[in-house]
């Protein structure tokens, strides 16, 4: 288990240092902003949606390693997925981070499982879920920025 933790740690550090899909998406059809005032994390998500499928996604922002790595891994995980699949993935991700009795299905979670350890640090859960809440707002085309202090993140 400690080897796994170390591997997870490295993945988070790698995605923080070299975030994937870290750019403005000129072809974006929707976008949303998110803010986690407790930590100071800020993220902007850009989406291109065709026929209920996310055909492209990118993000910009600044914040702690967990928030940045989470946004980076999220963009990798959901590119090409349908909106239903994304919603299901978010539900599983949220459960993994908040339900202490949950045992994440590593096959289903893929690299997102790296955040399973965040559950032991409740203050960081919002860092890891910020990009997902912002993604949801982008899908819904929300006009007001997301803040983690206004929902059950
Ligand atoms: Zn943070």
- Ligand 1 centroid to Cα of residue 42, in Å, is 9
* DSSP structural state of residue 145: P
CA of 52 to the centre of ligand 1 (A): 30
The stretch 8-34 carries a mean pLDDT of 96
By residue range, what is the domain housing residue 97?
2-144
pLDDT at 151 over 70: no
User: How many percent of the chain have pLDDT more than 90?
Assistant: 77
Q: What is the pLDDT of residue 153?
A: 47
Distance 130 CA to ligand 1 centre (A): 9
Note whether residue 149 is domain-resident. Answer: no
Mean pLDDT value of segment 29-34: 96
User: Phi and psi (nearest 5°) for 95?
Assistant: -65, -45
Q: How many domains does the chain have?
A: 1
Query: Tell me, what CATH number does 49's domain have?
Result: 3.90.1010.10
- Asked, for residue 45, whether it belongs to a domain, the answer is yes
Please give the C-alpha separations between residue 61 and each of 16, 75, 112, 130, in angstroms, as whole numbers.
11, 13, 19, 11
Lowest mean pLDDT: which of 2-6, 26-30, 76-80, 109-113? 2-6
- How confident is the model at residue 150, as a pLDDT? 65
User: Is 43 or 102 the better-scoring residue by pLDDT?
Assistant: 43
* 9 has pLDDT over 60: yes
In a domain, 153, yes or no: no
Instruction: Band the pLDDT of 96: cuts 50, 70, 90.
Output: very high
Distance between CA atoms of residues 119 and 99, nearest Å: 8
Q: How far is the CA of 77 from the centre of ligand 1 (A)?
A: 20
pLDDT of residue 108: 85
144 vs 74, higher pLDDT: 74
Average per-residue pLDDT for the chain: 93
Residue 45 alpha carbon to ligand 1 centre in Å: 16
Considering the domain boundaries, does residue 150 fall inside one? Answer: no
């Amino acid at each position: 288990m400690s080897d796994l933790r170390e591997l997870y740690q490295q993945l988070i550090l790698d995605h923080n240092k070299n975030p994937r899909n870290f750019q403005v998406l000129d072809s974006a059809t929707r976008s949303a902003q998110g803010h986690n005032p407790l930590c100071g994390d800020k993220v902007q998500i850009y989406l291109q949606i065709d026929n209920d499928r996310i055909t492209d996604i990118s993000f910009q922002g600044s914040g702690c390693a967990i928030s940045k790595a989470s946004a980076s891994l999220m963009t990798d995980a959901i590119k090409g997925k349908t909106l239903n699949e994304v919603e299901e993935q978010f539900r599983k991700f949220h459960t993994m981070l908040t339900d202490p009795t949950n045992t994440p299905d590593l096959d289903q979670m893929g690299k997102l499982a790296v955040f399973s350890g965040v559950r032991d640090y409740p203050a960081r859960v919002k860092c890891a879920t910020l990009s997902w809440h912002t993604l949801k707002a982008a899908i819904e085309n929300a006009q007001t920025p997301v803040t983690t202090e206004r929902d059950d993140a």
